[in-house]
Amino acid sequence: MNANVESDNVVKTGTTTIGMKIKDGVILATDQRATMNNLIANSHVQKVYPLADNLGMTISGLVGDAQLMVRYMQSQISIYTMQKGAPMSVQTAATLMGSVIRQGFYLGPILAGYDRTGGHVFSVDGAGGVIEDDYTSSGSGSITAYGALETLYKPDMTKKEGIDVAIAGLNAARRRDNYTGDGMLILYIGPKGYEWVPQEDIKARCEELGFKYPN
């Protein structure tokens, strides 16, 4: 499905997604709710994906468009790596995604990763604009998440500190945005590649911070 789809009978991620640059890499975090108009269509949606050992992306928008974008990016990055004999840089991957999204994808992705110049986080808009920042958020709950990020984010955070800020941002969004909720996924990407934060660790940290999980 593309950006011209107006029907309410399509599955959308609604969502809150977060990308942050930290001391030794980047953090990508999302909730897990998908909606169809006012209906919760699914409570276990994957909205953050590794694209390569050093790259990842979050998705918001139409689920069909998002899944197609993930597959396309994974295949193009693999081809690039085989041809060049080196990983694709984060800037190159973000530029590639920006050029593709202009074809008519209804998406608001975040692309982040780690390369020889360090960690980088890029937001990509529907017109193909690519903007690098220390932290960013997309989706229906992003305004609320930004409040937590503006308050808690600081440069050169440790991995543990970054995870705490991501959890706080997602928690703030799920409390005020109907389209955000049903769990959290957190991906860390650093010098040794990507690493999922285990669900049991997220649940334990939510409890320590005084947040309910998943809702």
Instruction: Give per-residue pLDDT as tens, 16-72.
Output: 999 999 999 999 999 999 888 778 888 899 999 999 999 999 998 888 899 999 999
Supply the pLDDT for residue 78. Answer: 97
Q: For residue 71, is it within any domain? A: yes
Q: Give me the CATH number covering residue 36.
A: 3.60.20.10
Is 196 inside a domain boundary? Answer: yes
What are the catalytic residues? 15
CB 50 within 8 A of CB 194: yes
> For position 14, what pLDDT does the model report?
65
The boundaries of the domain holding residue 143 are 17-208
pLDDT in tens, 180-207: 999 999 999 999 999 999 999 999 999 9
For residue 39, the model assigns a pLDDT of 86
pLDDT for the residue numbered 13: 57
Inside any domain, residue 64: yes
Mean pLDDT of 107-120: 96
pLDDT band at 5, cuts 50/70/90? very low
Global confidence as pTM: 0.92
**196 in helix, strand or coil?**
strand
Within 60-176, strands assigned E span 110-115, 118-124, 130-132, 135-138
